[in-house]
């Protein structure tokens, strides 16, 4: 009698940006979902506010920003976000600015080329830096501090940022997003099934189940 085998992980592509609080919550939501259904998470870096310069953009109450379909939507409800984070057991503080994220997204792609483990370390660290530690992740010196803390070669990272070797990957993800009509973050793609926003784990699990039987 043959031994039962573990099911193959369900692959899910997650389009995210480090300035997005819902993308930050998605890290924990996916970890919770993966405790029930094996998942192979592929994080896809999507710069959603490319117009922001290196100094970032201050957040004011009632600020308007691009919505899911290109319409204006209100600044995130930080009170509701705080309640959601508390339910998940995740610390979350309202940043005082929208940071430029291009360098941070490149830094995580650099770490991905080192190893999947290095990528996940810096991925989580950048989110925590922005939403917990109050660091400006648009500043290269702050990114280098995070890299040092996570044991990543800062000289090699600086070289990668200076020569822009990962900008092509960011452009590739942007093209993917256009092809799949993705206009906000996070978006989860389970095969042909799309989940938009920081959906409850049961929604993610249902999408994973449908992807398996599709």
Q: Answer yes or no: is 203 within a domain.
A: no
pLDDT tens readout for residues 16-75: 999 999 999 999 999 999 999 999 999 999 999 877 666 555 554 444 333 333 333 446
Domain membership of residue 189 as a residue range = 10-197
Q: Answer yes or no: is 35 within a domain.
A: yes
Q: Answer yes or no: is 207 within a domain.
A: no
pLDDT at 206: 96
How many residues make up the chain in this entry? 214
Q: Answer yes or no: is 214 within a domain.
A: no
| Total of domains in the chain | 1
Q: Answer yes or no: is 204 within a domain.
A: no
pLDDT tens readout for residues 73-132: 446 788 899 999 999 999 999 998 889 999 999 999 999 999 999 999 999 999 999 999
Q: Answer yes or no: is 169 within a domain.
A: yes
Please name the helix (run of DSSP H) or strand (run of DSSP E) that holds residue 195, with its range, or none: strand 193-196
Locate all alpha helices (DSSP H) within 21-139, ordered by sequence.
21-34, 78-88, 102-114, 116-131
Q: Which residues contact residue 82 at a Cβ distance below 8 angstroms, ignoring those fewer than 6 apart?
A: 92, 94
Q: Answer yes or no: is 120 within a domain.
A: yes
Question: What backbone torsions phi and psi does residue 25 show, to the nearest 5 degrees?
Answer: -65, -30
User: In three state form, how does the secondary structure of 132-167 look?
Assistant: CCCCCCCCHHHHHHHHHHCCCCHHHHHHHHHHCCCH
The answer to whether 160 touches 108, Cβ cutoff 8 Å, is no
pTM of the full structure: 0.88
Can you tell me the distance from the alpha carbon of 63 to that of 214, in angstroms, rounded to the nearest whole number?
41
Max Cα-Cα span within the chain:
65
Q: Which residues contact residue 121 at a Cβ distance below 8 angstroms, ignoring those fewer than 6 apart?
A: 111, 150, 151, 152
Q: If pLDDT is split at 50, 70 and 90, which confidence band does 6 have?
A: low
Q: Which residues contact residue 18 at a Cβ distance below 8 angstroms, ignoring those fewer than 6 apart?
A: 99, 101, 104, 105, 108, 126, 127, 130, 137
CATH number at residue 89: 3.40.30.10
Q: Answer yes or no: is 41 within a domain.
A: yes
């Amino acid at each position: 009698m043959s031994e039962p085998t573990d099911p193959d992980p369900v692959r899910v592509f997650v389009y995210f940006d480090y300035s997005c609080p819902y993308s930050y919550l998605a890290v924990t939501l996916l970890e919770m979902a993966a405790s029930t259904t094996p998942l192979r998470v592929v994080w896809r870096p999507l710069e959603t506010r490319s117009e922001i310069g290196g100094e970032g953009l201050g957040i004011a109450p009632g600020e308007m920003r691009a919505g899911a379909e290109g319409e204006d939507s209100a600044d995130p409800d930080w009170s509701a976000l705080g309640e959601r984070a508390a339910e998940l057991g995740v610390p979350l503080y309202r940043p005082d600015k929208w940071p430029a994220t291009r360098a941070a997204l490149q830094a995580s792609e650099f770490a991905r080329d080192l190893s999947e483990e290095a990528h996940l370390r810096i991925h989580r660290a950048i989110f925590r830096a922005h939403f917990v530690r109050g660091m400006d992740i648009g500043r290269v010196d702050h990114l280098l501090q995070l890299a040092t803390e996570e044991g990543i070669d800062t000289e090699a990272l600086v070289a990668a940022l200076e020569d822009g070797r990962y900008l092509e990957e960011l452009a590739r993800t942007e093209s993917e997003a256009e092809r799949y009509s993705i206009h906000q973050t996070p978006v989860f793609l389970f095969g042909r099934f799309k989940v938009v926003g920081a959906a409850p784990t049961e929604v993610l699990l249902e999408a994973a189940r449908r992807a398996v039987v599709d």
